[in-house]
Amino acid sequence: ALKDNTVIVVLGASGDLAKKKTYPALFGLYRMGFLPKDVKIVGYARTKMDDAEYHKRITSYLKVADDDQDGQAKIQEFKQFTSYVSGGYEDGPSFAKLNEVLQAIESKYQSKEANRLFYLALPPTVFIPVAQHLKEQCYSTTGKNRIIVEKPFGKDLESCRVLLSSLKQHWTEDETFRIDHYLGKEMVKNILVLRFANIAMNAPWDKNSISNVQITFKEPFGTEGRGGYFDEFGIIRDVLQNHLLQVLSIITMERPVSFSAEDIRDEKVKVLRAIPPIERSDTLLGQYVAANGKPGYLDDDTVPPNSVCPTYAATTLWIHNPRWEGVPFILKAGKALNEAKVEVRIQFKDVTQGIFKDISRNELVIRIQPSEAVYLKLNTKTPGLNTRAIPTEMDLTYKRRFTEAKIPEAYEALILDALRGDHSNFVRDDELDVAWRIFTPILHWIEGKSGPSPKPVPYPYGSRGPKELESFIGKYGYKRTVPE
């Protein structure tokens, strides 16, 4: 456990993010013994309720099996150091009241130095007033102040710049922790180790050996009731511009000088800067329609009729640097597909033809979820009295190899990093800027800001995606290997 006195304030404590991610992660860290000693957690939201009501809510957020005695006991302990303050997000006196509560907590610490970590689990409309009130009224003068913020960080390059500069009036880059929760995922964190701790991986990691790379995100459910929010953003802002681009930057960055946050992020920014904005012709957009007894996107009452918002997108990015010139990086993501899966698939080039015919390419697959795995498709001689090569796999499935390991939740990893003041797995301001630069032109095109909007192609709910996908990836040299 960390030694510093710390108070964690969760703003938006009764919202969806707090319920699904923030509180379960805080509790997970507590159970594992990672929260600072004498930590206190204060929830803040508009809903009026007393601590008893708040504790009841928190208990409902934390999933512990009925027969897990230790877990049940830990929930009781957890409640002892959590309390609640109600107040508005744009109302100064409420923040003054919050500050009094924080001071009262800190006055009981032996050393009066205490850090404050503010977690904004809030909609973007109130980011700026809350950041300002926190700075003006709840900023500790004795310890470190840190603020965690979540996407959306604007809707395009310009709005992102406006948001960042407004937040910067109150909070420095060093105090700010911008979450992209994919950076907290175990397998995403493993990519740097796979790449830079293994010469066998590192050596063929370039245009000479690699034909194409796909980074894929698939979800088996639609926007169900969340369509109003989704329609304003679309799949590109929801998943590609942040989560998949982050994974891409880690797959393609040069080796950082050290594992320090700044060295890592310098390299990520450098590779992203070598990517020009996406071309329309490198884009495939889809929208799901009713099938298999499930409603289509446009059947959702919260979605405007005739919306052309994509729920599926495949886009190909090109990196103009000596390592990657000419290698297509295909990012694809969709809702309402046939399965839940996030993976990176690196397809190597053909071996020089001659002695072998019709053999499969090597592929390295990094499966981020579900069921973390790394596997390499290799050709092997068929055992026995023949010389035929057959495709096989070298398979590192975590469940089999690390049978005892508990894979932490992304939010657990990230909150712990923020408590430690480590920015490595948070998004730096200039990273956001380059990310928006890459995607803004196609987003504006989709929204009809530069001519008529493209119409997404339909795909059935529960399918593998638009039928055009096969020829789309084929165009970039992907060759289907033998079925898995």
Annotated catalytic residues are 243
Contacts of ligand BG6 in 198-237 (CB under 6 A): 219
Residue selected from 4, 231, 238, 267 as contacting ligand BG6 according to rule CB under 6 A: 238
- Using CB under 6 A as the binding criterion, the count of chain residues that bind ligand BG6 stands at 4
Amino acid at 162: V
Binding-residue pattern over the window 417 to 446 for ligand BG6, x denoting contact by CB under 6 A: ------------------------------
Please give the residues from 329 up to 348 whose contact with ligand BG6 meets the rule CB under 6 A.
Answer: 342
C-beta of 219: minimal distance to ligand BG6 in Å? 6
Complex with ligand BG6: residue 21 or 133, whichever CB lies closer: 21
Q: Which is nearer to ligand BG6, 219 or 431 (CB)?
A: 219
Least separation in angstroms between residue 182's CB and ligand BG6 is 7
Q: Footprint of ligand BG6 on residues 340-399 (CB under 6 A)?
A: 342
Among residues 147 and 342, whose Cβ is nearest to ligand BG6? 342
**For residues 247-266, which are near ligand BG6 according to CB under 6 A?**
none
The interface with ligand BG6 within residues 66-125 (CB under 6 A) comprises none
Q: How far is the CB of 410 from ligand BG6 (least distance, A)?
A: 6
How far, CA to CA in Å, does 330 sit from each of 200, 318, 362?
Answer: 24, 9, 18
Nearer to ligand BG6, 123 or 204 (CB): 123
- Site for ligand BG6, residues 138 to 197, rule: CB under 6 A: 181
Q: How far is the CB of 289 from ligand BG6 (least distance, A)?
A: 19
Closest residue to ligand BG6, based on beta-carbon distance: 238
Q: Which is nearer to ligand BG6, 342 or 418 (CB)?
A: 342
Residue (79 or 181) nearer to ligand BG6, CB = 181
Minimum CB separation of residue 292 from ligand BG6 in Å reads 20
Q: Residue 421 CB, nearest distance to ligand BG6 (Å)?
A: 24
Q: Which is nearer to ligand BG6, 210 or 337 (CB)?
A: 337
Q: How far is the CB of 191 from ligand BG6 (least distance, A)?
A: 16
Residues at the contact surface with ligand BG6, assessed by CB under 6 A = 181, 219, 238, 342
